[in-house]
Structure 1
Amino acid sequence: MSHMYNLAIIGAGPAGIATAVESYLLGIRDIILFEKDENHNSTIRKYYKDNKRVDKDWKGQKVELDGRIYFVDGTKETTLDFFDEILANHSVELKTHTEVQKIEKRDGYFEVFIAGSSITAKYVVVTIGRMGKPNKPDYKIPPEIKSRVGFTLDGCVGGEKVLVVGGGDSAIEYAVDLSGQNSVFICYRRETFRRANPTNQRDIANAISHKEVEPILGIDIVSLESDEGRVKVIFNDIEPRTFDRVIYAIGGTTPSAFLASSGIKEEDGKPVHDDNYETNVKGLFVAGDITQESGGSIALGLNHGYAIACHIQEQEQ
């Protein structure tokens, strides 16, 4: 058997980092934190625009922090700096560019499988975010235009005719941000942007009223086609239009296949867990936005990490 870690955590977002740090502060050692991307908090890095406001009380949801990680309102940049600092100040082994393939329960421990090898741990916490698997449209994207269809602002170069698809906070922020250097349209299947927070509702209304963003509301997209290398969008109730780029911001999906392969049960699209976030597999926990109805609250993720750390400490006494 290889070295036995006390705690293995999959996903280095707020909930994963909080679980590691709160556990360390409670005296737990031999903690390893896996992240498939190149750094922690990849969702914030990829899906938050520069200088995006990051609030503790996400969407106005008041959350009292339970643990010893004191998180306050800030921006994308200050939030990343904050997590850099708390990771640097505690002995947590962070393994980036490492994707966990599955988890198997053995006799009193877990085997965590990664590419070409595995590690063993007494406890495992899964904190994979929904945005690690962004929702994609039901229709196929033709291969010849895939480079012009994305789920983040990566690849946007300015001076383009861009369609943003979605009606939540990310979609609005993408549209408003891109409107400074592009001709921007936003397509949403509903007539209003009521899902978005009040600030973003105000921003998109202002952008539309000043003709900086053109809305296509109450309309569904049927399919995409190639139009001489550009993206031809086929709508259900209006004539097709062609764009240089299409960006989807339509949320994320629970990683059901991974959860199932690890023996974790799901109900209503969420993993089953108790008040301590322990799943039906004893010693295997879930935390972060895969446990939440709408996801996204950093403060709730921090509280999940604290609750799990406290429960593990109790089990070890």
Structure 2
Amino acid sequence: IVGAGPSGFSASLAAMAEKMSFVTLEQETFGGTVAHYPRGKVVMTQPVNLPLYGKANFRETTKEKLLEFWHKVREETGLEVQYGERVVKVEPANDHFLVQTEKNNFATRNLLLTIGRRGTPRKLNVPGEDQEKVVYRLIDPEQYAGQHVLVVGGGDSALEAAVSISEVEGTTVALSYRSAAFGRAKQKNREKVEMAEKTGGLRVLLSSNVMSISENDITLDQEGQTITIENDAVIVCAGGILPTGFLKDMGIEIETKFGTA
């Protein structure tokens, strides 16, 4: 089982319940995408029956409480996860698969990929992006207290990051998006951005693109006009690149419709 996010966790418990011989591999941390949500993020879910545990009655909770519950279930059931095992290659071999990670090699008759849709973070590919102040996910808004922050992106993660950082005392936050409107984001998040902009806590730069990132500032193009703003940190929330090549190499056919794999 590749991945220890919500799907991999549930699949691993089911495998334990059926007394199957299996290994769960995770390249980062337990919890998958949820583990990378910003601190205090509200998570919408629904009651489920977890194998070996029973019914979990969650509808709306926080990232921390959900992860705490998952860790509790993992400890009570004795589920073992091998961390730091990034799968780099999978080869079909007669009646089984050869799975190669950065640490080990495995042979398995069945392979379950629960790798989610986050993929590899999509980069801006602009000068200065290799600086340490540029990151691709928000973990804790409080770490940016007193700083000038630019958030790049127009999806829910970008809007949520910008609003949460703007609520931290002493921050100056700008939100850059290449399109003219936040069409992909939830209405609730769009309303929060509008409110933050009205109260002066957030500067919204629609139809803008980052041109370069310097140590103390950042240069953007907004409809042909060059804008330079003071900057201490950049958070790029531009989505991820799906592991299409990785999947094709192992023999999985990818069908693309309307630009989405």
Query: TM class, shorter-chain normalised?
Result: 0.7 to 0.9
SS in 1 for 2:122: coil
In structure 1, the partner of 2:21 is: 30
C-alpha spacing 1:153/1:117, structure 2 compared with 1 (3 Å): closer
4+ runs deviating over 4 angstroms: 64-69
What is the number of residues matched between the two proteins? 250
Indicate whether 1:259 and 2:251 are aligned.
Answer: no
Q: Tell me the CA shift for residue 254 of structure 1.
A: 0.9
The structure carrying a bigger helix percent of its residues is: 1
- Which structure is richer in relative contact order (CA contacts within 8 A, separation 6 or more)? 1
Q: Tell me the CA shift for residue 132 of structure 1.
A: 4.0
Are the aligned partners of 1:35 and 1:97 in contact in 2 as well (CA < 8 Å)? yes
Indicate whether 1:203 and 2:224 are aligned.
Answer: no
Unaligned runs of 5+ in 1: 1-8, 58-63, 271-292, 295-317
TM-score normalised by the chain length of structure 1: 0.71
Any idea what the Cα deviations from partners look like across 1:243-273, whole Å, max 9, x if unmatched? 2222111111211222122222211189xxx
Trace 1:106-145 onto structure 2 (pairs within 5 A).
106-137=93-124, 139-142=125-128
Are the aligned partners of 1:32 and 1:92 in contact in 2 as well (CA < 8 Å)? no
C-alpha spacing 1:269/1:114, structure 2 compared with 1 (3 Å): farther
C-alpha spacing 1:264/1:18, structure 2 compared with 1 (3 Å): same
Trace 1:33-44 onto structure 2 (pairs within 5 A).
33-37=24-28, 39-44=29-34
Give the Cα separation in 2 of the matches to 1:133 and 1:186: 22
Are the aligned partners of 2:128 and 2:212 in contact in 1 as well (CA < 8 Å)? yes
Q: Tell me the CA shift for residue 163 of structure 1.
A: 1.1
TM-score normalised by the chain length of structure 2: 0.85
Q: Percent identity?
A: 27
Calculate the aligned-residue CA RMSD, in Å: 2.6
Trace 1:161-310 onto structure 2 (pairs within 5 A).
161-179=148-166, 180-181=168-169, 182-221=171-210, 223-226=211-214, 229-237=215-223, 238-242=225-229, 243-268=231-256
In structure 2, the partner of 1:10 is: 2
Any idea what the Cα deviations from partners look like across 1:210-259, whole Å, max 9, x if unmatched? 111011112233x2143xx2242231422221322221111112112221
Give the Cα separation in 2 of the matches to 1:166 and 1:232: 15
Unaligned runs of 5+ in 2: none
